[in-house]
Amino acid sequence: MLDQNISIINETSDMLNGSGFVNNYTSHEDGGNTGFYFYLYDITWPILTLLGMIGNSLAFIVLYQLSSTSSFYLYLAFLAISDFSFLIVGGVFRWLEMTGMYTPSKSFEEMLCSVSFAFTLLFSQLSSWITVAVTVDRYIAVCHPFAVSVYCTRKRTLIYVGTAFLVLAALNLPNICLQWDHETLTCVLPEFTHDYCFKFRGYIDILSYAIIPILIICILNILIIRGLYSAAGRRRFLTSGSESSAPPTVERKDSISKTVSMLFSVTACFVLLFIPFVGVSLHEVVYGYGWDSIPGTLADLCSFLNHCLNFILYGLSGQRFRKKFIETLNMRRVFRD
């Protein structure tokens, strides 16, 4: 049995750290940066978590009402659920663990194999791939409008989100240690899971959480911008003779443009906030360190912000979202009165 026990202490020193949500899990009480880490993790972190949970809850209520007419808003409603779930396991529980108020794991190595860590990876990656799906949805609406009725449907949205959840669960749930040896600080697992869980998990996470989604989103946004310019050129040509000659699809194209503006705000924030995360991760791969530093901690915070800010982005860029949000507030006031 000792040959099959996996020494996570030895493995974690060789593997890529993976998601930044646990890279700075250990206590930062040495050196001159104690105040920095205190304000970040003991003050800023719980505030962002609370605001993110409230924002995602409100966003889901509004987006679900809008989703009756558009798969785009249904995707965003699922994104709000995924971000909210992440903030529970990767925000609340992580903060409680770091402050010592909740200590299910006796060591950092055991925490890497915990249920909360596995679900943190799951929901963080799910949010990334829902963002990809949102981009694909708008790409079809702009560049292939005749295919919207076939591919941009509620049924296909449910199938995609369900499939993505199951695939990501299959990738991350094997990380959970079902039997832990406290004496040797090892996880008792079948030998064949050794390489997958503790050598390649970090690489799988950085690819599925950031690098691949960012590449897909950037490529599709470039194609969407090109499609919008082409459509604008055709509209100018059709309306150059007379204002009354505008085709009946102008109103629909304006609606698509408004949802695309919301998409661009969400995806731009997604890419920009992930650039530090990718940079520190690649530095870790090449030089063997990077996360246990202030730049690594800030990259960790940037990736965390991705799950907290969408409600603000919807409000700033989404006219329909703002209108429905105000209507929802007014309906609640009338109901209370």
The CATH fold assigned to 5-336 is Rhopdopsin 7-helix transmembrane proteins (1.20.1070)
User: 97 or 134: whose pLDDT is higher?
Assistant: 134
- Exposed/middle/buried for residue 91 (C-beta within 10 Å: 0-12, 13-18, 19+): buried
Per the structure block, which two tokens stand in for 81?
């659920």
Estimate the crossing angle of helix 250-287 against helix 115-143, to 10 degrees. Answer: 140
Domain boundaries, the chain: 5-336
Confidence label for 228 from pLDDT (cuts 50, 70 and 90): confident
Query: Does 32 score more than 50 pLDDT?
Result: no
Indicate the residue type of 97.
E
pTM: 0.81
Percent of the chain at pLDDT exceeding 70:
67
Query: CB neighbours (10 Å) of residue 41?
Result: 21
Spatial separation of the C-alpha atoms in residues 98 and 96, rounded to whole Å: 6
| Residues 157-216: tens digit of each pLDDT | 999 999 999 999 998 887 777 676 666 666 766 665 666 666 777 788 889 999 999 999
Confidence label for 266 from pLDDT (cuts 50, 70 and 90): very high
| Residues 242-264: tens digit of each pLDDT | 444 444 455 555 566 778 888 89
Per the structure block, which two tokens stand in for 257?
């443009």
- Which among 336, 318, 315, 308 has a CA at the least distance from the CA of 88? 308
Strand-pair category, 180-181 with 5-7: unpaired
Per the structure block, which two tokens stand in for 201?
């998990």
Confidence label for 300 from pLDDT (cuts 50, 70 and 90): confident
Query: Does 18 score more than 90 pLDDT?
Result: no
Spatial separation of the C-alpha atoms in residues 219 and 223, rounded to whole Å: 6
User: 177 or 126: whose pLDDT is higher?
Assistant: 126
Query: Does 320 score more than 90 pLDDT?
Result: no
Residue partners of 161: CB distance under 8 A and separation at least 6? 75, 78, 130, 133
Query: Does 39 score more than 60 pLDDT?
Result: yes
Query: CB neighbours (10 Å) of residue 181?
Result: 16
| Residues 64-109: tens digit of each pLDDT | 999 988 899 999 999 999 999 999 988 887 777 666 665 555 555 5
